[in-house]
Structure formats: structure tokens, C-alpha cells
């Protein structure tokens, strides 16, 4: 079972890249973030034509998340519980039910950026993370394989940035942000990549500016968090860097969890 997270930074602009990736890698599940389109603009027909079922939660010009699956998609939840006034499309969850394998519950997450510091955007980020923690806590008693995949907009540790000092005044690297991320992990989750590669300097995002990709000035902000049942099935994690070299790429690359 291959489960992917990828912030595509506009699905309509990156549709050809997505279809090429699906055709080449044939993942079982793909969690997409930053669709930047409303539901009626989502390219359902093209993705279904590539052999995938789809569930999506869009928003005009901003945000947007989706789950693509080669297997049936059930029990779809759109939106993160805990704030009925929140209109931002940042969370979608579903149960993936392969015919011959145990079902997985999967979420596609686009966590708020939080910049600039000292504004309501940072407060919203922290409040959103508290809501996520509460929701995950409600899911864990199901004791099922759970994969929380997404762009978390969190640099967990210094080793997750090529140049940590560049990020000390950024919401992605604030002590409060990192503490909120650890609080979610401390519910009993496993961070998939670090379970496989504890100390490697690995990144999933390279800014478009200042030759960041060419200089490998990256950060790791796309994560797969696993329930104990999913962690037991984890075999490997791959960061699929080659998409960053494609023409007009997303600034994020796919991260792939491989499960038994």
C-alpha cells in the first residue's frame, strides 16, 4: 500500500504533473493539498480517467484538499471539527477499503501557515492545531490504521531545515508551533519519515526564490503521522524529489509512505 501526500500548489496548473505521477508510480492513495479551486472546478474526470476515485473539499482561489484512491472511498468527512464558523477548506478524511487488505483511515491536511507572527493568523494556526489534536484523540480509540498526511507548515526540528536561522522569525519554526506538533505526536503517533530515517537531512519544500532548489536550501514541512496500527505496517518512506525538476513545478514534492 502506497500512501502519498503532495501539496500541488494549484491542481489545475499541476494536473499534467499529477497524472504523470499517478501513471508512473501507481500509488494506492494520494492526499493533495492547496488545490486552489472550488468543487465545481476540480478535474474529477481526468483523475477518474487515470483510475482513481476522488473525494475533495475545495475553496475559491485558496486552500482545498482531496483524497484520491485506487480503492473504494467511504465515510468521508469534510472539514475539521471544533469550529463551525471556520470556512477554510483544510481537512478531509475518509476510509479506504481495499478488497484484499485491511482498511486505512486517511486524512489530507493543509495546516495554516500562521504568518505573520503577532497577528490573528498565528492565533488561528495554534487554535487549528488544538482542534486537530482533539479530533485525532477521538479517532485513536478505533484502533485502526490511521494516516494523517499533509502539509503541516511545521519544521519540527533544526535538522529539518538546511538553514534553520533563516526561519527563527517564521511561524513554521516557532516554539509554540513545534510544541503543538509534538503534542499531537505525543498522543501516541509515529512520524513516518523519522521512524525510517532518524537523522538524515531530508526536505520536502524548496522556495521558488533565490535558487533554493538549486542550492538545496529546503525545509521538511510535509509529514505522515501514523497511529500505532499504521506504524506497525510501515515499511519505508520515500521523498519523490524528481517532481521539483519538472517544468513549472510545485514548490513541494510528494512524500510516499509504503505499508504492508
Asked if 137 and 177 count as a contact pair (C-beta separation under 8 A), the reply is: no
111: pLDDT strictly greater than 90: yes
What is the set of active-site residues?
Answer: 110, 151
For residue 32, give the 3-state DSSP assignment.
strand
Neighbours of 80 (CB within 10 A): 21
pLDDT tens track for 131-185: 999 999 999 999 999 999 999 999 999 999 999 999 999 999 999 999 999 999 9
pLDDT tens track for 45-82: 999 999 999 999 999 999 999 999 999 999 999 999 99
Q: Which residues contact 44 (CB under 8 A, 6 or more apart)?
A: 54, 56
Asked if 64 and 93 count as a contact pair (C-beta separation under 8 A), the reply is: no
- Maximum alpha-carbon separation in the chain: 50
* Per-residue burial over 225-257, b = 16 or more CB atoms within 10 Å of its CB, e = otherwise: bbbebbbebbeebebbbebbeeeebbbbbbbbb
The mean per-residue pLDDT over the stretch 247-258 comes to: 98
* Choices 3.30.1490.20, 3.20.20.140, 3.40.50.300, 3.60.10.10: CATH for 2-259: 3.60.10.10
Neighbours of 149 (CB within 10 A): 29
Which is it for strands 65-69 and 146-151: parallel, antiparallel or unpaired?
unpaired
Cα distances (angstroms) measured from residue 43 to each of 79, 88, 94, 251:
20, 20, 19, 21
Q: What is the pTM of this model?
A: 0.97
The mean per-residue pLDDT over the stretch 235-240 comes to: 98
pLDDT at 101: 86
Angstrom distance (rounded) from CA 5 to CA 33: 8
Q: Which pLDDT band holds residue 100 (cuts at 50, 70, 90)?
A: confident
Nearest to 92 by CA among 123, 124, 125, 54: 54
- Domain parsing of the chain, residue ranges: 2-259
Torsion angle, alpha carbons of 165, 170, 176, 179, to 10 = -60
Amino acid at each position: 500500500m502506497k500512501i502519498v501526500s503532495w501539496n500541488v500548489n494549484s491542481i489545475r496548473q499541476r494536473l499534467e504533473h499529477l497524472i504523470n505521477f499517478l501513471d508512473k508510480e501507481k500509488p494506492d492513495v494520494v492526499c493533495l493539498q492547496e488545490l486552489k479551486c472550488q468543487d465545481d472546478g476540480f478535474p474529477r474526470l481526468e483523475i477518474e480517467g487515470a483510475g482513481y476515485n476522488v473525494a475533495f473539499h475545495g475553496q475559491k482561489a485558496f486552500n482545498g484538499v482531496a483524497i484520491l484512491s485506487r480503492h473504494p472511498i467511504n465515510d468521508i468527512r469534510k472539514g475539521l471539527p471544533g469550529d463551525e464558523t471556520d470556512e477554510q477548506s483544510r481537512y478531509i478524511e475518509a476510509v479506504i477499503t481495499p478488497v484484499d487488505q485491511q482498511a486505512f483511515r486517511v486524512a489530507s491536511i493543509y495546516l495554516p501557515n500562521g504568518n505573520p507572527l503577532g497577528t490573528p493568523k498565528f492565533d488561528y494556526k495554534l487554535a487549528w492545531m488544538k482542534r486537530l489534536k482533539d479530533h485525532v484523540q477521538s479517532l485513536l480509540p478505533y484502533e485502526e490504521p490511521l494516516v494523517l498526511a499533509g502539509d503541516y507548515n511545521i519544521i519540527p526540528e533544526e535538522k529539518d531545515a538546511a538553514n534553520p536561522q533563516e526561519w527563527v522569525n517564521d511561524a513554521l519554526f516557532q516554539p509554540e508551533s513545534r510544541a503543538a506538533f509534538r503534542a499531537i505526536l505525543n498522543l501516541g503517533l509515529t512520524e513516518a519519515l523519522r521512524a525510517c530515517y532518524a537523522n538524515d537531512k531530508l526536505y520536502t519544500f524548496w522556495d521558488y526564490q533565490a535558487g533554493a532548489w538549486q542550492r538545496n536550501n529546503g525545509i521538511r514541512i510535509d509529514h505522515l503521522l501514523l497511529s500505532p496500527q499504521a506504524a506497525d505496517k510501515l515499511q519505508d518512506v520515500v521523498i519523490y524529489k524528481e517532481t521539483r525538476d519538472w517544468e513549472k513545478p510545485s514548490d513541494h514534492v510528494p512524500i510516499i509512505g509504503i505499508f504492508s
